[in-house]
Chains A and B, each alone.
Chain A
């Protein structure tokens, strides 16, 4: 019995720390013009679900997605949706006329370039990627 509990504890610890490691790997970045330096998880959700359309200074929110594993980790950690749920959400918005599909990029370099050059832009990358002119948004 003790052995089973031991194995379960290791599994739970592995899954738990695995999630934390993924969370730590993803950072949220924005254009220098974005008038915030920190966001909480709910605020990040609202941005990437298109609910927050304007920053506090009334400039437009331009959020961008990154294809691949980082995208899945970001959705799981911050948006609390799976990739297919997130995709279905934006198709609902698209075909009901309530929104347009978000911009998405194949590589982190392209995304960083877009965020650096586009006022109001926000995105996410792996924490090892060069930031160019973007700034890091800390997550509360």
Chain B
């Protein structure tokens, strides 16, 4: 419903301005609306039913800005997006702030603003300003958009001598309750709970065997060793079967973040026109309150225990990312390269380091045609590059990575309308639903098409 309200609003305002921007007095109104189509030769990607072909990918936005005084500008952008299970066309305030430009070297914004992450995060939702349908996954993972999209707080920015510019923000970045970070942490809580239950069951089986050996006259230490030696494998199997029959669901109660920080330093060297270098940092702490609803089966010989609901809080001491970027524009040719390192540090578990890099090029042949391509390499845990941990858990090793060779053709019909055709040759299964294939191969193809209107 919200999707249609937003769509009608965008179309109505766009038609009021015929083709260009709408001016209501001193308020300028601009917007965009995009609809995509995705088709893969096998597997579903990003929880979209790509194998059968799906239109379940779209985004739309509408912004209002006005200059109140020479120094003060205010504005806001409403935004809705859908890609598989993410976004679901929920209407969000993408950014909304007052912007006071005191000096060329210092401006201050207060409200909600975009996070600087790599060169293109601030415009990742705006199809019209980039060559590709999908930005490189290694840097701009669509499933974590909710975490990297915007920050509430205060932002300082400005231009410095010899081509430097900076951006420093402080505030909060609460992940979406239905976003990937929240979902991953809920999965982690379930994994931890099952681990604990499995350990309890295994211990109960070994305790029972130990007690039997003690009753037969062995001392406790020898009895324990004998129980481990003779019943260890059986205890493991019992625990595994028990955990397999235990159902655990999570109910998210609250998602909070604190100590959000975002810095960017960019440089356009005056000695080489067209070169842009950038470093960005983003960091935050996250806490999620959830209820674990556990429904476990009866132990052999025991009564069926009642379902339990246990409140738990998962804490991430640090979610952070560093991105190093380079872009060089020479007439109609644009070359770019980016490296990304993300750290996810839960309080009571091992730190995960995610790594990605990409390199790409695009060339505009004329007003209406542009061709681009990139290669992107994404690894979801650099301490397990080969995917051995995933294999131990029964999954395919290739779920650890996604390597993407992409080629795009962009066609600009006019200033307002454009469409894109894009092909991806993928190797890897991260964010891929391979569950229907008992022996999944890592190679697959994705086709994307997208049409965009902006005004």
Contacts and interface: CB of A to CB of B under 8 A. Distances in A.
A52 interface: yes
Contact of A84 (B65, B113, B364): B364
A77 interface: no
Interface stretch (A12-20, A26-34, A93-101): A93-101
Contacts of A51: 104, 159, 165
Nearest to A55: B104
A59 B101 CA distance: 11
Contacts of B367: 83-84
Q: What DSSP secondary structure best describes chain B's contact surface? A: strand
B329 interface: yes
Interface string A76-104: 00001111110110011011111011000
B28 interface: yes
B77 A97 contact: yes
A94 B94 CA distance: 13
Contacts of B71: 60
Interface stretch (B44-52, B123-131, B241-249, B339-347): B123-131
Contacts of B412: 84
Interface in A31-59: 42, 46, 51-54, 58-59
A58 B415 CA distance: 35
Interface centre among A42, A91, A95 (most CB of B within 10 A): A95
B142 interface: no
B179 interface: no
B129 A91 contact: yes
B63 A97 contact: yes
Contacts of B103: 54, 58
Contact of A95 (B63, B113, B165): B63
Contacts of A94: 30, 63
B331 interface: yes
A82 B332 contact: yes
B427 interface: no
Nearest to B65: A100
B28 A95 contact: no
A54 B104 contact: yes
B123 A92 contact: yes
A91 B329 contact: no
B73 interface: yes
B278 interface: no
B132 interface: no
Contact of A82 (B101, B113, B129, B331): B331
Nearest to A120: B70
Contacts of B297: none
Contacts of A85: 329, 364
A84 B101 CA distance: 27
B123 A96 contact: yes
B67 A46 contact: no
A95 B104 contact: no
Interface in A95-117: 95-98, 100-101
Contacts of B73: 100
B270 A95 contact: no
A101 B22 CA distance: 12
Interface string B101-143: 1011001000001100000001101101100000000000000
Given A92-B123, A100-B67, 15 more contacts: A46-B159, A54-B103, A59-B70, A81-B329, A84-B367, A95-B32, A95-B125, A95-B129, A95-B454, A96-B122, A97-B75, A97-B113, A98-B114, A100-B28, A100-B73
14 contacts: A42-B270, A52-B104, A58-B103, A80-B273, A84-B367, A88-B128, A91-B129, A91-B454, A94-B30, A97-B65, A97-B113, A97-B114, A100-B73, A101-B21
Interface of A: 42, 46, 51-54, 58-60, 80-85, 87-88, 91-92, 94-98, 100-101
For the complex of A and B, 5 pairs with smallest distance between CB atoms:
A96-B122, A60-B70, A97-B95, A95-B126, A92-B123
